Each structure stands twice: as C-alpha cells, then as structure tokens.
Amino acid sequence: MGSAFRIVTILALLATSATAQTITRFQPSRQELIARYKRSAMMDSATKNTVFKSSVDAHWLPGGKAFWYCNILADSLEEYIYVDATTASRKPAFDMDALTAALRAAGVNVKSGRPGITALSPEAAGLRFEMNKKWYRYQQGQVTAIPDQPPVAGESNQPGISPDKKWTAFIKDGNVFVASSQGGAPVQFTTDGTPQKPYGRLSWSPDSKYLAGYYIQPVQDSSVYYILTAVPNTTRGQLRSQPYKQPGDPFTTYTMFVFDITQRKTMKTDAEPIDFLDAPRLHWLKDAPAQFTYEKTDRGHQRFRVIGVDAASGKTRAIVDEQTKTFIYESTMINEYPGGTNLLLRSSEKDGWKHLYLVDLTTGKEQQVTKGNWIVRGVDSIDVKKRQIWFQASGMQAGEDPYNVHYYRIGFDGKGLLPLTPEVGTHDMKYAPGGQYYTDTYSQVNVPPVTKLRRAADGKEVLLLEKADVSRYRQSGAKPPEPFVAKARDGVTDIYGIVSRPSDYDPNKKYPVLENIYAGPHSSFVPKTFTPYSEMQSLAELGFIVVMIDGMGTANRSKAFHDVCWQNLADAGLPDRQLWIQALARQYPYVDAERVGIYGTSAGGQNTVSALLFHSGFYKAGVSACGCHDNRVDKQWWNEQWMGYPVGPHYDAQSNVTNAARLQGNLLLIVGEYDTNVPPESTYRVADALIKANKDFDFLAVPGMGHSDGGPYGRMKKRDFFVKHLMGVAPPAHNNGELPIGVEVGRERWTFK
C-alpha cells in the first residue's frame, strides 16, 4: 500500500508539473487585441443598469411606524412599496395601472409604469401624492389636484440677539457694540478693531450676562494660477487664479475676549491665540452660565486640547490634553456634546485603536466607553435619558473583513453592547424618525445587497424588504471582483484587496497585472459593498489581472497601521502591495508578477510615480493622473496632517520632483490644465525634472479639464499605454477606424481627495 501511495503521489506531482508547464504567457496578436477592445466596450454596455432592488430609500410617514419606497426596475419602470412596521407587512402602495388610468382621465400626462412620484401618504379612503412638484388626491378611482398650500413661516433666530432677547450684539467698524432692546445708545465694548482687523465670531452665554468673541487678524492666502488655453470665442489664453494655502503658509489669528454685559467690561482671556485652522465653536456649560469650552488643535497635528474658560475671570484650564509623537487625525475626530448635559463624547486612538471616551467637562474626569482591537467609525445618536450611544464600528466581528462597517448600541458605562447588524458584510443603516425602527442594507464586494427592516430596541429582524435582482447582470457574463488577503511586510498583519479578471480568462495563460492605487492616508479605498462592474473590470477584459489594495499607511485599521504614513507618504504601502501581488501569483499561476503596471489619480497619481521611482524593479509601467507629486505644492490641510509641520527636509526627500532622475520603466503623466484641487504645476514640475534628467516619458495635458484621470480620452490613452508596454502589442489605430467611433472606455467609479 505504501508503494502504491508513492506511485500515485509521483504521478500527481508529474501531472502538476506538466500542468504548470502548459501555462504560457498571454500574448495576443494585434487582431486578437482589437477584438478584446471591442469585447471590453461591449461588456461596458452590457453591464449598465443590470442590478435592481439594491437599496431601499425609506420615506417614513409621521409617527415613524410606516414608510414607502420606490424600486427602479428594468427599463426604468417604477415599483412603489408600502410597509407597515407594526404589522410587519409589505405590499404595493397602489395599483400602478389603475392610478395611471386615473391620471390620464384627469388630463395629467404620465408615462406608463413611470409616474415619478416624489411623495405619498395613505389616507382613509385613498392616497395623497406629489408628482412634478404638484399634489394630487386619489380616491375611488379618480384623481383630483390639490391646491398649493402656502409655506408655514418658521420662527427666525436673528444672529446677535441674546437668549433672553434683551440685548443685541453687533460689529460696527470692526468693534463690538451691544444695544438694549429697551432703547438707548448702544454700549461700545472695544475701540481697537478696524474693518481690516475686526472683532467677531460672537457667542452669548445662556444667561445673557456674557458675550465671548475674538479679535481677528486675517491672513490673505496667496494665489495659484491656471491658464485656460482653449476657451471658445477667444484668441488668447485666459488666466485664472484662486487663493490656495500650501504647507507652511500662515493662518488667520483669533485672540479670545469676554465681554461682561452687566459690568460693561472687556477682558482678554488667558487663552493662547488660535493661529491654526478656524476659530473654534464655543460650548457653554449647562447650569454654569459663566463657563464654556472650546477645542484646539496645535499646528503639526500632534496635540489636541479641550480647554475650559471662566468668563467671569478669563482664566483657562485644560480639560483634555492629548499628545502624540506621530499625528492626531483631527478632521475625523468625534466630538459630540449631548444637549442638556456637561458631557463630551469624544474619540481617541491613544490606546492604539479609535475608541470612544466620555468626559465630564466640569471635573475633567474621562471614562473609556469602547475598547478592543477594533475601531469606531462614527456616532449616529446619543440618548441622554437612557444613557446609550448608537455607533458604527469595524473589526469587531470575528472572522470578517475588518473594514466591514457594522452598527451597535452601548451604554455610557461601556456595558450592554448590542450588535444591530449581525450579517456578514458592510452595512448601511437608516433610522426611522423617533428611532423605533431602522432599515439595514448590507453586501460584500462580490455578494449582492440585502435590505431588512429591524427593531431598534433589540435589533431583531421585522421584515425582509429586498434582495438585489442580479439576474440581468449575470446574463452579461461579467463577474464582480474577488477579495484576496495576504500578509504585510511584517509577516503578521493581513492586507486586504480585490482582484478583477477577464471574464473569459484562461487559467493556462499568464496575464499581466495592473494595480489601481490610491494610498491617501485619509481613509481606506478598496470597495466593500457590491461592485458589479467598474473601470477595473473594463481594463481586465483587455487581458489584465487588475487589483486594488489597502496597504499600510491607510486609515480604518489600528493606529500603528496608520502611523506608517507619518512623514512617509512616499512609502504608500508599496512594500505590502508587492508582497500581496506576489502572494496572489503564488496562489493563481495565471497571474504574471513579472509584468506589473500601476495607475492612479490624485494621491494615486503621486503613488504611481513613487512606485516607478522607488520600486522600479517590480513596477514596469505607470499612468499617473493629476498627482500631488510634491507635498509642498499641494494643499496645506492634507499634507501637514501627514507630513507634519514645520516643512522640513523630509518633504524634499520624498518629492517625486526631487527624485525624478531615478525613473525606470515607462511613465505616462496626465494633467488637466484647470485642476483647482492639485495645482497643475505639481505635474509640470515632474515633467521638467524628467526632461532635465533626459528621461523618456509620455505626457498628456487636457485643455479645460479639472481634477480628473483625464476623462474618456485619458482612460483610452491609459489602456493603450499598458497594452503597448506590458503586452508588447501596438494598440488600435483609433484614427484609422480600427475601433467604432464613440466606444466608451471604462466607467470610473472612484473618488479622490
């Protein structure tokens, strides 16, 4: 038996070896390649509008216990559904054919199956609905128009009026004045303000005894410039400009003052001047009318404070003082002040994960609410009476993709954690008015959406609302991308990504790889919801394996995972990405890790060039669109957040401009001449440095285009570029009619900073 087993094993190994030897490099002829271009265009068209019932936009009726929604079906037909949560019932909101007939009988022009109703409400004997901004009533088979109702006037809250309505604060010639509602001359509290350096941003105390505000020393941002070269009906280029703050540029300064209304006294507080970001909002404490707090982030993003101020004395105290050696991600911090309390619910990554902390603003005592190797993604609501927090989180569900968003409820004391979205996938939850019910839509990148109605009290399912209809999509022959996981550079951390293959791929062929990169540290970017088709799949149909990966340095994982980007944007997680692609090639022999291209837009454009400069042994070709290639040229708020302040030698060391002479491989630069997000000179400076270094590269400037991947023309040039440099085949001669005129070249779905 042992000998027989050895023989079988040897035969199996020989068979495996023979199979491995049959895998050949995918190398289409030119005619085969042109056919693939046509196939890709056909798939682009065949997959449009082929997924239905993928979400539910619930229009809740008064009381929050019933709602209606509309499904858009094949051929743009509409289906209206009425749901009663109390009886767990779901039914058509009306008879479509009967309503259409009644509308036409009333002289209203309506398309069959597509009335375009924007609001509806059941009535005792029928239905009231809105269509084309007009209201109608449908009863006993007849439609009648409802006269327009005048809008209800709301109470106006004029700025500057005190809570007790006895005073009005205003700025005149840059100075603070307060006028009594009883009449008389206004009281002037300041005299050194001017229109150029005024006082402002005034805030009343709840008891109307104090007014807080700032002395403002404005800074005028320098401009960046653009020349529009092809404006119709002109014969000259048109110069445009906009104010644009770059790293190191100064900020407006705000110096805090308090004005005592009773004593007619002006007092400069002990608060440090605010010389970074905007003037913070003031939060007056409950039952302590002379006390307020504000938030302060120091420039460099390494210190965050919540500071308390005594309006009677002008003295300040630090309530929260958080510091770090890397960065505090200020713009995604959660800082909620529950109404009617002296509490602050805030987020912090100080224990290595983004969690919630409850702070008593009167005592400064802080209590951690959530804890574990997972992160809070957002807070939906805070119930002060029940002392409960409704929040979103990722990474808590064992065995799941740690980026999947789930929803939970927890007590102020960190107890009573209740999962509200148990199914595997990324969830999108919408609460009913009053919060008694919610709709929950969930999916995975390769699993179609499901929508359920649930009860908020315990998270129990009330009713299945919809399962996405993908039957027409499946008929197209396309398939969604596949998730794939591999280890990071540390050999421990899991790196997540997706893979798109040609829908007709041959496992005995070896296909070149394209990486769609976007390594901006402000978030994570690999899609987690159902993605039936994208530009990635359109490129794959040409004969590529197209991947997208979230490497180290991106957000929504641990603090240590994110910290890799600190003063290190040139890294872009590229070491992790290469290991991921190599692991993919080991698992799937049809993946050719020797022919790898990379493309990206904005931060992804920067990452693409960095790949060719610093990892040219792995990446052979790249297409970079509107990249922020030098972090000194790009916008201040984004770059100082990750690269720090002050601007130092590390900015220069990681610049694609500085390192342009290192270029190996093939590069196409794309830039829109009217990019108001990343100044076009960022790309032009790379081009200038490459020319001075005698480097060969391709360049496409698109007249009149903004922050973009180049649009349809840029996407056409991108696929032609990769076909030429990774397949070694001349792309179609577009000017000679080798492809039908007007063929669409992919559908871009990504968004950029």
User: CA-CA distance, 310 to 316, in Å (whole number)?
Assistant: 6
User: CA-CA distance, 613 to 660, in Å (whole number)?
Assistant: 7
Q: Which residues have CB under 8 Å from 670's CB, separation 6+? A: 605, 623, 624, 625, 626, 683, 700, 701, 702, 709, 710, 714, 717, 718
What is the DSSP annotation of 294-345? EEEE-TTS-EEEEEEEETTT--EEEEEEEE-SS---GGG--EE--TTSSEEE
- Mean pLDDT across 181-204: 97
pLDDT of residue 393: 98
Assess whether pLDDT exceeds 60 at residue 501: yes
User: CA-CA distance, 364 to 486, in Å (whole number)?
Assistant: 44
pLDDT of residue 749: 39
Q: Quick: pLDDT tens for 606-643.
A: 999 999 999 999 999 999 999 999 999 999 999 999 99
Sheet with 335-336: list strands edge to edge: 335-336, 343-348, 355-360, 366-368
Copy the structure tokens of residue 353: 């994960």
User: CA-CA distance, 147 to 141, in Å (whole number)?
Assistant: 19
Mean pLDDT of the chain: 94
pLDDT of residue 740: 61
pLDDT of residue 22: 85
Copy the structure tokens of residue 3: 């000998």
Domains recognised in the chain with CATH numbers: 17-45+473-547+578-736 (3.40.50.1820), 59-146 (no CATH)
The confidence band for 7, taking pLDDT boundaries of 50, 70 and 90, is very low
Contact indicator for 283, 208 with CB cutoff of 8 Å: no
pLDDT of residue 151: 61
The confidence band for 6, taking pLDDT boundaries of 50, 70 and 90, is very low
Assess whether pLDDT exceeds 60 at residue 16: no
The 10 Å Cβ neighbour count of residue 223 is: 10
User: CA-CA distance, 253 to 237, in Å (whole number)?
Assistant: 37
User: CA-CA distance, 145 to 105, in Å (whole number)?
Assistant: 12
Higher pLDDT, 245 or 149: 245
pLDDT of residue 289: 83
User: CA-CA distance, 115 to 103, in Å (whole number)?
Assistant: 9
Q: Quick: pLDDT tens for 509-560.
A: 999 999 999 999 999 999 999 999 999 999 999 999 999 999 999 999 999 9
User: CA-CA distance, 295 to 330, in Å (whole number)?
Assistant: 11
| 584: phi then psi, degrees, rounded to nearest 5 | -60, -40
Q: Quick: pLDDT tens for 73-109.
A: 999 999 999 999 999 999 999 999 999 999 999 999 9
Q: Quick: pLDDT tens for 103-158.
A: 999 999 999 999 999 999 999 889 999 999 999 999 999 999 998 766 655 544 56
Assess whether pLDDT exceeds 90 at residue 21: no
- Mean pLDDT across 663-675: 98
Q: Quick: pLDDT tens for 362-390.
A: 999 999 999 999 999 999 999 999 999 99
User: CA-CA distance, 311 to 309, in Å (whole number)?
Assistant: 6
User: CA-CA distance, 38 to 45, in Å (whole number)?
Assistant: 11
Assess whether pLDDT exceeds 50 at residue 672: yes
Percent of the chain with pLDDT over 70: 94
Any idea what DSSP says for residue 76? Answer: G
- Mean pLDDT across 733-753: 59
- Mean pLDDT across 425-446: 97
Angle value at C-alpha 313, between 310 and 315, nearest 5 degrees: 60
pLDDT of residue 1: 42
- Mean pLDDT across 436-451: 98
Contact indicator for 702, 713 with CB cutoff of 8 Å: yes
pLDDT of residue 148: 78
Gyration radius (Cα) of the chain, Å:
31
Assess whether pLDDT exceeds 50 at residue 675: yes
**Which residues, listed in sequence order, are joined to residue 546 by a DSSP beta bridge?**
500, 514
pLDDT of residue 753: 40
**Which residues, listed in sequence order, are joined to residue 200 by a DSSP beta bridge?**
214
